[in-house]
Structure 1
Amino acid sequence: MATLLEPKLITGSSNKPLANAITRRMALHRGKPVDLVDARVERFNDQEIFVEVYENVRGEDMFIIQSTSNPANDNLMELLIMSDALRRSSASRITAVIPYFGYARQDRRAKARTPISAKLVANMMVEAGIERVLTMDLHAAQIQGFFDIPVDNLYASPIFALDIKTQFEGAMDDIMVISPDVGGVARARELAKRIGAPLSIVDKRREKHGEVAEMTVIGNVEGKKCIIVDDICDTAGTLCKAAEVLMEHGATEVHSYITHGVLSGPAVERISKSVMKSLCITDSIEATQPVRDTPNIRIIPTAPLFAQAILNIANGTSVSSLFDTETLEASYEGLFNK
């Protein structure tokens, strides 16, 4: 196997705090400073995006850290243009590290005359010169098949399991994991298995898009500390309604663990007024100030996971090893506090 040079990291403007956290974590692993490649991303008066890389990247193994979150179109174009700049600068390999993969909810044709935008985005990334994708908790696992290049899809459930065992130490027998819909059962089951908890489902029926008409709890949640697990929280309407229904069915507490905190529109206000005791999200999307200021929202770091995944990819070693709880415990030692 050919030996790759040390990975070099570059970031767009979507989540610079996470990119800096990843470099700090990699420096800890390697025992020497790791800096982001010096570059600028600017917009002309007509909002065209321009990228200039100030360092020599010829023959380098490049990793672009860029979530395609709000504003999704701007951040996506930054990623594509940055990849094109690196390709034309003779980088040996370009990996897109996309903690939150935008357009993932448009993964199929739900009705006639609609696009499959996730596939279109995949095609654009490959055309721009991206040769590998590293992401977390894709909304639909089949999106990996939209690419003709390797895709490593990391999971937040091992991190959530570590946090839950810390936060609910001594009360694990009372925990019940909840899937907020039938489609999320596999994700919820994975977390339930990791922490040894039973599983329940909140089945929802919609009258029209964005409005939930009815919710039914499948399973007995009476006397349980319920943990709702999902990949995306957008406006938080479904999440807060599910928490209310669970409390009405006898749950003692409701907590939520969501990978990607989109938290648009009235989400923060809804969560702050909700019966839900806490919402835990990752930093895959940079948190706004209102999110950081909300007392019942906690943010769990993903930098240790992404840093190790980048190093594993660069060294040609297993990424799937990061799915093991034992592997992550060392990386997250001391990061979870009650």
Structure 2
Amino acid sequence: MILSGRHSQSIAAALARELDEPLAPVAFDRFPDGELMASIGQASGERAVVVASTPTSDAHLELLQLQDAAREAGFEEVVTVLPYMGYARQDRAFEAGEPVSARAVARAISTGADRVITVDPHEEAVCDFFEPSATAVTAADRLAEPLPEDLTDPLYLSPDAGAIELAETVRNAAGGGEVDYFEKTRHSGSDVEVTPSDAAVEGRDVVVVDDIIATGSTMSEAVGVLDERGAADVYVTCVHPLLASNAVTKLSRAGVAAIYGTDTIERPQSEVSAAPAIADALDRN
């Protein structure tokens, strides 16, 4: 049975269709003092699959409650699926005295799960923070689907050399093109400078591929440089379209033709579903 978190209703429904499993009657409430309550009604069965992205602190708490409710209901196995794992980008202490937040939330989630599956974590090493280790799956290949079929001499750019496999995955799924990456300079935990490489872009369609777009600030600056260098259309694709605050406006002002993401985070830009990749991982075990 599929138990959906508040922020993962679309992907939970898609996963239920992929697996031909029912959706539990999950309900969410808040007490007068502000405390949250996530309940699953009369759900029961052998396996509970809790599908819950955690883009907010409240979402983390709701996930823990759903796990506990599944145990209370008597499910024999509880599998937790994190389409988007919040706090995963803080996988180390950038300054003295800081927590490793990814480790902290992974430990909490592990206490209520027999297995954990997550989609394209920012650093796959965060999977080792779970006990037992989480399984990472990729939905990057799905990002090729909404791209135009007639791209002109396409160039696929990743945000840095470490993420070039994402760009290669989208390129391969789309059917061809050149792959390169941006030069990224991190000045602090929150201050990152991204500039395009020296790859020729004039007259070419460019597809920027990232795992997550949060505020869009550094990305919009880099896209602006692509525009100045004479790129044709620039498309931005990401697995996790967090797109906080005015990120969409920033990217549009920079000259982006379209933004495409998956449903790991539910946004208007969530053009494709990561559910098939998750279903494959569930079926393998």
TM-score norm. by structure 2 comes to 0.89
Pairing 1:211-226 to 2, within 5 Å after superposition: 215-226=195-206
**Please, which runs of 5 or more residues in structure 2 have no aligned partner?**
none
Pairing 1:265-304 to 2, within 5 Å after superposition: 265-287=245-267, 292=268, 297=269, 299-304=271-276
- Aligned amino acid, residue 233 of structure 1: I
- Aligned amino acid, residue 76 of structure 2: S
2:51 match: 65
2:277 match: 305
1:277 match: secondary structure: strand
**Residues 148-189 of structure 1 deviation map (CA, whole Å, 9 limit, x = unaligned):** 22422121222123444xx224x46x0111122344233323
In 1, Cα distance between equivalents of 2:93 and 2:164: 22
2:42 match: 55
Candidates 108, 112, 131, aligned match of 2:92: 108
**As a proportion of its length, which structure holds more helix?**
1
1:152 match: 135
Distance 1:212 1:89, change over 3 A: closer
- Cα pair 1:10 1:36 within 8 Å, conserved: yes
1:138 match: 121
Query: What displacement does 1:13 show?
Result: 1.2
Query: What displacement does 1:63 show?
Result: 0.2
Pairs aligned (count): 284
2:180 match: secondary structure: strand
2:15 match: 22
1:336 match: none
- Cα pair 1:201 1:218 within 8 Å, conserved: no
1:255 match: secondary structure: strand
1:218 match: secondary structure: coil
In 2, Cα distance between equivalents of 1:52 and 1:241: 44
**Residues 253-285 of structure 1 deviation map (CA, whole Å, 9 limit, x = unaligned):** 211111111111121221332311111111111
Distance 1:39 1:201, change over 3 A: closer
**Please, which runs of 5 or more residues in structure 1 have no aligned partner?**
1-7, 28-33, 317-338
Query: What displacement does 1:45 show?
Result: 1.3
- Cα pair 1:200 1:218 within 8 Å, conserved: no
Candidates 54, 65, 68, aligned match of 1:84: 68
- Name the Cα RMSD after superposition: 2.3
Quote the sequence identity (%): 30
Higher gyration radius (CA): 1
- Cα pair 1:63 1:94 within 8 Å, conserved: yes
Pairing 1:124-135 to 2, within 5 Å after superposition: 124-127=108-111, 129-135=112-118
Candidates 242, 247, 252, aligned match of 2:227: 247
Query: What displacement does 1:211 show?
Result: 5.2
With 216-225 and 129-138 compared, the bigger mean Cα shift is at 216-225
In 1, Cα distance between equivalents of 2:95 and 2:236: 31
In 2, Cα distance between equivalents of 1:214 and 1:112: 25
- Aligned amino acid, residue 156 of structure 1: A
- Cα pair 2:237 2:261 within 8 Å, conserved: yes
2:182 match: secondary structure: strand
Query: What displacement does 1:101 show?
Result: 0.7
